Structure 1
Amino acid sequence: MAGLHFFKKHPVQLLLVATISACSFPLFAASETPETLVVTGTKTERLLADSPVRIEVVTEQDIATSHARDLAEALKNVPGIVLKPIHGKSGQEVWMQGLDADRVLILVDSKPVSASTGSSVDVTQISVADVTHIEIVKGATSALYGSEAMGGVINVITKRAKLGTTYKVTLDSGSYGEQNVSDGPFNDNHANFFVSHNSGSWFGQLMTDVRYKQGTDLDDTTWDFEGAAGTKTNVAAKLGYQFSNGAEVMIAPSYYYEDINKNFRSFSPGVGEVKKEKREEVKRKNISISFDSPVFEDSELSAWYMFESFTDNTEQDTLSTDYIDQSRLGESTFNKGEVQLDHALGEYQILTVGIVALKSTLAQTKDESTPINVVPIDELQGEKQRTSIELYAQDDIFIGDQLEILPGIRYQNDSDFGSYLAPKINLMYDPNWLDKQVKFRIGAGSGYRAPTLKERHYIFDHSALGYMVLGNEDLVPETSTSLQFGADYSPGGSFHADVNFYYNDIKNLISTELNQQQSDATNLSIYEYSNIGEARTKGVDITSAYDFTEFLSSNISYTYLDAINLELNKQLTQRPKHQAKINVSYKVLPLKSLFSLYGSYQSEQFVDDENLISSPAYSTFDFKVNTDVTNNFTLFMGVDNFLGVTRDVPLTGHDFRPENGRFIYLGVRFSG
């Protein structure tokens, strides 16, 4: 009742200081508490335990304990999340609840990240050096996000400068042993630096992060190697001012640069195997301006605008010639702005309304070289663009101290596909069982996803590797119905458990299908985006955390997924039916050390639509050690995939086990 009394006295403050979350599980038992503040579920700050939308959280403690360097590594231990290599590219993407990465919205501070490949975001390109926590909402149950969020939302929340000056420096380096492409002892090197200052009104911060890899190879007897070599660099800054009335204005530029390469081979009749090199240079430039301010007595206004440009220049070079065979340049831009108003309607109701405007463009050109000349080709026949206007509204209604109802609706008008209305509703019920330690959450929503510019226009040419993927201008939007039902038990102290059942029904699912007629005509495997009809995914996530003693803690999770192509009555490909994850941590106080073991199991998954070919089941284990030499100085080491589980060679394309084997590394962290 004390919490309800505070809400009655301070309705806006509580709603705006208690956002997103619910039913989340901790990767390290003591790192997540009910007092954790989240924002993704309702776009207003809520206490984790009080969010009507189910949220899972990866904390800064989790990131530090697991030595995660990028978003992929930070998410790898989250129940139900599947990380997959991006087909034909370097990097990884996120799948959730049987829905692939094209349907998962990736945000940084609630602002979208443009897709690295035109539809899915490469999460290895996002550094976590300046991250305070990561919020995960699964399923299309929030009215506050657009068509990209059919499968869910991952929101990366970065740090805010604290009063005074703070800094952190991390250095680590390691080796894949016999899988190193280079001869040196250190194959994978990483450094980051973070500094911030807050004077009380002015605040600013700077983060730089550099990762350098020399490549990994599963078979050193061949010319090609699987793990790309090169550099990935992130730079991000914030500069802002906070007024005496609580209003704040901030500008946040960021820059990402990637320069990588790998060797590969192709077969030429009469010549045999031809040695080639693929090089890729990626640049992402982003700048955002945001403003937040109290309005009147019971309202809060927030607004932001961001611009992002993304360029991807790839080259395929036959080493025996003195010219570059093929060079392709993909360029995309992303302009987006949003205005949101939160207003208290009396003591038990908060209304949120907003408007979003988007304009995106895509262009792609290619230069094909011969010994005589260079032939330029405009593959999209000019720049393609898409615009949309979206409106959303939600009403957060408190009924007594046991029931909260969150209905919402989102309207989208797309320049190419017209209008669509997507209703959502969430409910949280506290039945006062077991001293208010049990909560139930229910979510239902309609999802909508317009085909991306890539899916309609992009030409993904890997003819040197025997295949191409073509866009399809005749695609129609996908629609979905998402249902979520869960309960969590949080008695405090040593134990936490939750269970969540989910169901997603998708119509006009967009997938890549083999075009046999074009394949026969070109002697290549020609894939084309198409609407395959109806699909359904359903399953359950079960998680628990238990502290056996003050020094020994554990987390365990199990995910069951049943994903069906209803048109063929077959399992959808690349979706493991069973997944289990475990983390056991032990503190050794005399050594000021924390020892952690992470384990992950994935069952077999089908490779082809007819379910005749499957990729094997596998398990991996990571071992981590963190030692606090002083309060500001930490030594750490780890062995990732210490059983050395990898794909079989020669590679067949039918094996989705890890492409990297055992990785041993050491690192140091300074902070102040």
Structure 2
Amino acid sequence: MLLPLVAALLVRQPIDPQQPGVGAPSPDAAGPVISEPAPAPPPAPPEPEEVDRRKQTVVTSSRSERKLEDVVVATEVITRKQIEAVGARDLGQLLQQHPGVELVQTFRGTGMRLQGLDPEYVLILVDGERVSGRVGTTLDLGRFSLRDVERVEIVKGPAAALYGADAIGGVVNLITRHVQRPLELGARGTFGTLLEGDFRANAGTKQGPLEVRVGGGYRTRNPYDWAPADAATSGSGIRRIDGDVALAYAADDRSRLWLRSQYTFRDENAVDLNPSGAVLDRRQRQEQFDVSLGGRKQLPNETSLLVRGHFGLFRDQLLQDQRGSRALDDYSQNVNRLYEGVFQADHRLGNHALTGGLEVLGERLTSARLEESPVGRIRGGAFLQDEWDVALSSDGSGPKLKVAPGFRFDLDSQFGGAPSPRLALKLDPIPALTVRASVGLGFRPPSFQEMYLRFTNQGIGYIVAGNRNLTAERSTAVNVGVDWRPPIDGWVFSASGFHTRLNNLINITAGGTPDPDNPVTFSYENVARAYTQGIEVNGRFRLPMRSTYLDLAYMLLDARDQTRNRPLEARSRHRVNAQLSTRYRPWNLEATVRGSWVSGRPYYLGTDGGMANVIGLEEREVWAPSYFDLEATVTYKLRGGFDVFVNSYNLLNAGDQQFNPRPPRGVLGGVQWEY
């Protein structure tokens, strides 16, 4: 009953084209509380050793629960505590300075690159489920509130053997929180520069086998502008409302049923400047509704079964209103529906941990900008992975080896069959050293826009037409990594290398120059080859000051378009990340400072200011300057579960109108309460 009602509401609300804690310590039970000053508290116990992080449970790299120290494919985890420590309001802000991640700022949202691969090659999941609503090739990270996220897991490198299409560059999985106590309450309010406000609250209860959790949030921010001399804005103003309800029933620790539903409403407003000089007021509205139903059962014979179904509805509306004229006025609406069903079985057989299953995915897009509408596809996939503990010594005290061959076969209604094998291994020659390696294939089928788009820009003079004869892009990737834990408490080093080769890349092709009197038709072709390769080095150090850690990271990237024999656009060759976090318990203070240096990036612009990255048109190479990004968060912990915090971001005011249109320097303050 709920699903049809919400779906109907989404489709019937178009934009009007006329409208512009930490709790207090317990008292001493041995005697009454007196008014004299209390004696100094005993020294705080030392912080958990770094090895404790390896005891976390993760699910993304194997699609089933594993300890972080046991995973064959390296997994990075951002915990709830770390999310709050940096003061991030959405997923994009959280990943802004995460090692190995590069954000892509566009007027349709913020995407992310992993290992030099664009947003269309990175799969984003919520509790293991796909998220619908890519606009162009970007799934906007600003849509993801962190209000109910317990942790974020990141797997870099090929993951198609388990997840299928679009997982060439890696997978980012947002894991939501579970209720653990009879009553849980929380609220957070933030306000600051650009009149940005972020307010969120949640409540949950666990009564016997039943868990209930509800939450909601509201966020607003004004537009900002790096070049006030013209009428255009650099970044959109936003207004977002989101809410969710989660129910779970766990009769015992071997079974669990759940139902989760969430809705997000997001409005953006900005001003664009057309190359012909026209000023356009832009409004964009996005609405997302998801409902998921599933269950997991642990059988007595070392077998676990999972069944899950998911429906997602995403509607994107774009209104462009030309000032002083109606010539370039435009309104478009896209409605995307996603249907997903999964059956998975996990079984332990001696030294083998088997994971296999079936997955069915359906997509349907309705849009006036397509040659035909609606369009749809169905994809079915079968996957199997074996994690094999290879015995290298008779008593198990010597080196440890895990080998994980995996294979997935997808059958697409438009592109036929696509095999995605992967072989991964993990070797621990000594307890302090871990070596991981993997090689795998991947694929990305063309999007509906690349196949069916029909768009005319009368102001500039060009037409963009889809190509139904496109084939899927293919990839081959190799990843190798080493982790070393020296005999110094809290110190960890890691280094990794990667190489990904892409074939049949889809590029826009055309000839001639855009002309309002003789429009040029741009189309899509499988004409490009490219590769990305590089190294990543990370170190975590526990400093002599108690509860103080320093994280350092460096990434070297070589990304090249082999068809044009030039570097891939917008990639920085060098990137350095640093983070210093500390806690001073006598004053109940916590502080986190993080920064990154990003080297220059090449861009290829049309000599007439028109389309870029188009084969057949004359282009000029422009290098965006390097920049340094710095932010800091300080939190003061009060009694009763209250925290007061201040977050200062982009302290060095890095950014510009064309290449780095991120928000300028700002500061926010707020209060958080948890019970």
Structure 1 residue aligned with 2:650: 641
1:119 equivalent in alignment to 2:122:
no
Moved more, 189-198 or 226-235: 226-235
- Residue 463 of structure 1 and its aligned partner are, at CA, apart by 5.5
Structure 1 residue aligned with 2:110: 92
Structure 1 residue aligned with 2:45: none
Structure 2 residue aligned with 1:277: 281
Counterpart secondary structure, 2:621 = coil
Q: Which one-letter code corresponds to 2:361 in the other structure?
A: L
Counterpart secondary structure, 2:236 = strand
Distance 1:314-1:158 versus aligned 2 partners, 3 A rule: same
User: In structure 2, which of residues 664, 668, 672 is the aligned counterpart of residue 665 of structure 1?
Assistant: 668
1:360 equivalent in alignment to 2:363:
yes
Structure 1 residue aligned with 2:426: 428
Counterpart secondary structure, 2:638 = strand
Structure 2 residue aligned with 1:600: 596
Moved more, 404-413 or 655-664: 655-664
CA deviations 1:353-409 (Å, max 9, x no partner) are: 1111111011212xxxxxxxxxxxx64322111111111001111112501111010
Structure 2 residue aligned with 1:235: 243
User: In structure 2, which of residues 384, 391, 413 is the aligned counterpart of residue 393 of structure 1?
Assistant: 384
Partners of 2:503 and 2:325 in 1: CA distance: 49
CA deviations 1:504-551 (Å, max 9, x no partner) are: 01111223x352347347677865433233211110111111011214
User: In structure 2, which of residues 511, 526, 533 is the aligned counterpart of residue 538 of structure 1?
Assistant: 533
Structure 1 residue aligned with 2:468: 473
1:225 equivalent in alignment to 2:264:
no
Q: Which one-letter code corresponds to 1:386 in the other structure?
A: R
**1:45-56 alignment, distance < 5 Å:** 45-56=65-76
Distance 1:532-1:306 versus aligned 2 partners, 3 A rule: same
Counterpart secondary structure, 1:396 = strand
TM-score when normalising by structure 1: 0.86
1:313 equivalent in alignment to 2:322:
no
Structure 1 residue aligned with 2:626: 617
Q: Is the 8 A contact 1:141 1:443 kept in 2?
A: no
Structure 2 residue aligned with 1:171: 189
TM-score when normalising by structure 2: 0.86
1:35 equivalent in alignment to 2:55:
yes
Partners of 1:473 and 1:520 in 2: CA distance: 26
1:157 equivalent in alignment to 2:175:
yes
Partners of 1:32 and 1:580 in 2: CA distance: 26
User: In structure 2, which of residues 647, 659, 675 is the aligned counterpart of residue 656 of structure 1?
Assistant: 659
Distance 1:469-1:123 versus aligned 2 partners, 3 A rule: farther
Structure 1 residue aligned with 2:147: 129
Q: Is the 8 A contact 1:391 1:412 kept in 2?
A: yes
**1:488-567 alignment, distance < 5 Å:** 488-491=483-486, 493-511=489-507, 513=508, 515-517=510-512, 519-520=514-515, 527-549=522-544, 550-567=546-563
Unpaired runs of at least 5, structure 1: 1-27, 177-186, 366-377
Q: Is the 8 A contact 1:141 1:483 kept in 2?
A: no
1:448 equivalent in alignment to 2:451:
no
Structure 2 residue aligned with 1:180: none
Q: Is the 8 A contact 2:506 2:524 kept in 1?
A: yes
Q: Which one-letter code corresponds to 2:485 in the other structure?
A: S
Distance 1:49-1:466 versus aligned 2 partners, 3 A rule: farther
Structure 2 residue aligned with 1:404: 402
Q: Is the 8 A contact 1:266 1:276 kept in 2?
A: yes
Distance 1:575-1:524 versus aligned 2 partners, 3 A rule: farther
Moved more, 322-331 or 635-644: 322-331
Partners of 2:641 and 2:327 in 1: CA distance: 52
User: In structure 2, which of residues 138, 151, 157 is the aligned counterpart of residue 139 of structure 1?
Assistant: 157
Q: Is the 8 A contact 1:616 1:657 kept in 2?
A: no
Partners of 1:259 and 1:416 in 2: CA distance: 34
Distance 1:417-1:241 versus aligned 2 partners, 3 A rule: same
Counterpart secondary structure, 2:485 = strand
Paired positions, count: 606
Q: Is the 8 A contact 1:189 1:212 kept in 2?
A: yes
Q: Which one-letter code corresponds to 2:498 in the other structure?
A: Y
User: In structure 2, which of residues 473, 476, 479 is the aligned counterpart of residue 484 of structure 1?
Assistant: 479
Q: Is the 8 A contact 1:618 1:657 kept in 2?
A: no
Q: Which one-letter code corresponds to 1:630 in the other structure?
A: R
User: In structure 1, which of residues 51, 58, 80 is the aligned counterpart of residue 100 of structure 2?
Assistant: 80
Distance 1:108-1:214 versus aligned 2 partners, 3 A rule: same
Q: Is the 8 A contact 1:265 1:275 kept in 2?
A: yes
- Residue 232 of structure 1 and its aligned partner are, at CA, apart by 1.5
Partners of 1:175 and 1:525 in 2: CA distance: 44
1:264 equivalent in alignment to 2:272:
yes
Partners of 2:528 and 2:278 in 1: CA distance: 41
Distance 1:557-1:590 versus aligned 2 partners, 3 A rule: same
Unpaired runs of at least 5, structure 2: 1-47, 605-612, 614-618
**1:346-357 alignment, distance < 5 Å:** 347-357=350-360
Q: Which one-letter code corresponds to 1:211 in the other structure?
A: R
RMSD: 2.3
Counterpart secondary structure, 1:143 = helix
Counterpart secondary structure, 1:227 = coil
CA deviations 1:541-562 (Å, max 9, x no partner) are: 1111101121432101000110
Q: Which one-letter code corresponds to 1:613 in the other structure?
A: V
Q: Is the 8 A contact 2:254 2:299 kept in 1?
A: no
Partners of 1:467 and 1:629 in 2: CA distance: 60
Q: Is the 8 A contact 1:107 1:153 kept in 2?
A: yes
- Residue 577 of structure 1 and its aligned partner are, at CA, apart by 0.8
Partners of 2:77 and 2:246 in 1: CA distance: 24
1:249 equivalent in alignment to 2:257:
yes
User: In structure 2, which of residues 325, 329, 336 is the aligned counterpart of residue 325 of structure 1?
Assistant: 329
Structure 2 residue aligned with 1:67: 87
Distance 1:462-1:261 versus aligned 2 partners, 3 A rule: farther
- Residue 237 of structure 1 and its aligned partner are, at CA, apart by 1.8
- Residue 585 of structure 1 and its aligned partner are, at CA, apart by 2.1
Counterpart secondary structure, 1:34 = helix
Q: Is the 8 A contact 1:173 1:666 kept in 2?
A: yes
CA deviations 1:619-641 (Å, max 9, x no partner) are: 11112111112250101102111
Moved more, 228-237 or 608-617: 608-617
Q: Is the 8 A contact 1:456 1:473 kept in 2?
A: yes
Q: Which one-letter code corresponds to 1:101 in the other structure?
A: P
Structure 2 residue aligned with 1:632: 641
- Residue 30 of structure 1 and its aligned partner are, at CA, apart by 6.2
Structure 2 residue aligned with 1:194: 202
